[in-house]
């Protein structure tokens, strides 16, 4: 489906290495159709959807927004889009991650990457296909989804957990994310949140997804409201152009009459939320097909 929108020491090392790859079975707590696992030591992640036979289901990791400072695995603006994904055969994972200001960058991306590694490492036990992992997020979660999708081990953002397990994803969908932290539009209401979690230029540069673009990037679906006052749509346009320049064909959906969270501003948002749901399902179905 395709739509067109706006363009001592040795022992310590051995002990550490043994801890990095957890060979034990995951601690899975089930309640109905939902399972909860603990990853990265103490963080929680919920999984919803029908478990595949022998780990056959594609999984989509949804990352909540909240300015890197608030939120948890139970919330998020675009959580409303998870039910259609589950209904179309995907397993959906939602996660808690460490929050600012107590934990600043790169804590959040370390947790996101650890969650991806956990899903891949324990794929068969969780009923998922370790080679069909997608990621999506809104606002700060959209930033983290893009950063996870675009960075590689050499970029220094993998974190200390599950070393040797890949954090690659096969597709990414972002909703009104921020991708160039060095050049945030001065009128954007997200400026304070960026400064809080990325307190200096070096952190903002390292945390900018747009600097990591290359030919190996996965497919992207990019959604943004044209009347967004918190994160200017220029951020999504920059990412779209950058991906195109790297040889990709990202799909940018610019939503008319929509602000941050795709809430109505000045009229009825278009395309409608049902159309975006269908597009999201079609995108992940195409790119996570077996």
pTM over 0.95: no
Q: Please tell me the predicted confidence (pLDDT) of residue 19.
A: 39
DSSP 3-state percent helix, strand, coil across the chain (nearest 5):
35, 20, 45
Structure confidence at residue 1 (pLDDT): 37
**What are the Cα distances from residue 285, in Å, to 151, 157, 191, 222, 262?**
23, 28, 35, 16, 23
What pLDDT, on a 0 to 100 scale, did the predictor assign at position 2? 36
Task: Give me the residues of the chain with pLDDT under 50, please.
Answer: 1-21
Peptide bond into 211 cis (omega under 30): no
Residue 136 contacts residue 231 (beta carbons within 8 Å): no
- What is the rounded CA–CA span in Å between residue 285 and residue 290? 9
Query: From the centroid of its chain, how far is CA 190?
Result: 18
Residue 240 CA neighbour count, 13 Å, CB half: 22
Which pLDDT value is given to residue 10?
29
Three-state secondary structure call for residue 36: strand
Q: For 62-80, what is each residue's pLDDT tens digit?
A: 999 999 999 999 999 999 9
- Backbone φ, ψ for residue 136 (5° rounding): -150, 155
**Which residue, chain included where needed, has tokens 């020491």?**
9
Residue 41 burial by Cβ neighbours in a 10 Å radius (0-12, 13-18, 19+):
exposed
Nearest of 259, 221, 216, 258 to residue 240 by alpha carbon: 221
What pLDDT score was predicted for residue 18? 32
- Going from the C-alpha of 48 to that of each of 6, 138, 243, the distances in angstroms are 33, 19, 31
């Amino acid at each position: 489906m395709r739509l067109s929108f706006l363009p001592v020491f040795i022992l310590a090392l051995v002990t550490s290495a043994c801890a990095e790859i957890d060979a034990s079975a995951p601690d899975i707590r089930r309640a109905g159709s939902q399972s909860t696992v603990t990853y990265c030591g103490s963080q929680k992640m919920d999984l919803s959807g029908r478990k595949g036979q022998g780990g056959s289901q594609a999984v989509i990791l949804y990352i909540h927004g909240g300015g890197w400072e608030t939120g948890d695995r139970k919330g998020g603006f675009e959580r409303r889009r998870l039910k259609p994904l589950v209904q179309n055969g995907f397993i959906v994972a939602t996660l808690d991650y460490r929050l600012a200001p107590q934990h600043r960058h790169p804590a959040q991306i370390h947790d996101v990457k650890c969650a991806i590694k956990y899903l891949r490492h324990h794929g068969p036990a969780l009923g998922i296909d370790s080679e069909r992992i997608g990621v999506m997020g809104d606002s700060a979660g959209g930033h983290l989804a893009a950063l996870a999708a675009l960075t590689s081990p050499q970029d220094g953002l993998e974190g200390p957990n599950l070393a040797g397990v890949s954090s690659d994803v096969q597709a990414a969908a972002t909703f009104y994310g921020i991708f160039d932290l060095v050049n945030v539009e001065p009128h954007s209401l997200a400026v304070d949140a960026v400064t809080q979690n990325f307190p200096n230029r070096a952190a903002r540069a390292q945390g900018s997804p747009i600097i990591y673009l290359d030919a190996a990037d996965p497919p992207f679906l990019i959604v943004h409201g044209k009347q967004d006052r918190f994160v200017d749509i220029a951020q999504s346009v920059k990412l779209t152009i950058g991906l195109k320049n790297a040889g990709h064909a990202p799909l940018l959906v610019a939503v008319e009459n929509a602000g941050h969270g795709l809430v109505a501003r000045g009229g009825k948002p278009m395309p409608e939320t049902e159309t975006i749901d269908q597009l999201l399902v079609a995108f992940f179905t195409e790119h996570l097909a077996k």
